[in-house]
Amino acid sequence: MSKQLQEAARRLAASKNILVLTGAGISADSGIPTFRGKDGLWNNRRGEELASIDLLLEDPKLAWQWYDAMRVLIAKNKPNPGHLALAALEKMRPDLALTTQNIDGYHSDAGSRRVFELHGNFWRLRCMACGKMDENRQAPIKELPPKCACGGLLRPDIVLYGEQLPVEALEGAFARARESDFCLVVGTSCVVYPAALLPQAAKRNGAFLLEVNPENTQLSEYADMTINGTAAAVLPKLVHALQS
């Protein structure tokens, strides 16, 4: 076991309030694209265009073809050892709060219970007319675009480009960041705001900041420790070190 992992586990064991922030990188080992660079293309369209509120309003069928393709991909795959390790860590440390920028629902599927979903969840569908919301795991959906019983257009309960983040989840995450003494950032380059400000808020509170990422990011400059590796490879070892 590396000295880095031993020291990270020691710091984690001594902490009282843990904040975890995850990004697209944690789901990469589950086969989910990160949507940056070439991974962001679908039928020669960029992820930023496909996941925009403008496209949903202008061409709901095209938007839903992409949503449905993503839901099928997520359903075909499953949480990886990184997700499972965080769920196991939550059972060990009930003071842990998990904040994610991901919309695949894998953290909940892995067993995590205290999850702030900053960008929503693909499996929840919300009616744009009456506002009714239900979980729907059908993948593929039989008729696109899907309609509510009231006749209104259904949409995934996710934050699209051009929309604001859910206030309740955002405020909850920042409140936790301001009282945390250990912040674990996994699989995110911290370039998407305001989520990128969460580690800074924790750091200002004096939290030990641990980054887990295959490559260094802009966060690495002020992280107390950066462990280069995938979440699926590193996090199970961190949990094992904590148990040792």
pLDDT digits (tens, 9 = 90+) for 126-180: 999 999 999 999 999 999 999 999 999 999 999 999 898 888 889 999 999 999 9
Q: Are residues 21 and 60 in the same domain?
A: no
Q: Is 240 exposed, middle or buried (0-12, 13-18, 19+ CB in 10 A)?
A: middle
Rounded Cα gap, residues 50 and 97, in angstroms: 31
Number of domains making up the chain? 2
Which residue among 83, 107, 119, 240 is the active-site one?
A: 119
Confidence of residue 37 (pLDDT cuts 50, 70, 90): very low
Q: Which domain, by its residues, includes 238?
A: 1-31+79-119+165-244
CATH of the domain at 141: 3.30.1600.10
Cα distance between residue 6 and residue 211, in whole Å: 15
Q: Can you give the pTM of this predicted structure?
A: 0.92
41 with 114, same domain: the answer is no
Output b/e per residue, 70-83; b: 16+ Cβ within 10 A.
bbebbbeeebbbbb
Say yes or no: 87 and 68 in one domain.
Answer: no
Q: Which of 158, 178, 210 is the last residue of a domain?
A: 158
200/95 same-domain check: yes
Q: Is 68 in the same domain as 178?
A: no
Query: Do 107 and 226 sit in the same domain of this protein?
Result: yes
Report the chain's mean pLDDT, rounded to a whole number. 92
> In the predicted model, what is the mean pLDDT of residues 194-203?
91
Looking at the structure, do residues 172 and 233 belong to the same domain, yes or no?
Answer: yes
Is 107 part of the annotated catalytic residue set? no
Residue 4's CB is within 10 A of a number of other CB atoms, namely: 17
- For residue 39, the model assigns a pLDDT of 52
Identify the pLDDT of residue 49.
Answer: 83
Average pLDDT for residues 55-66, to the nearest whole number? 96
Same domain, 144 and 212: no
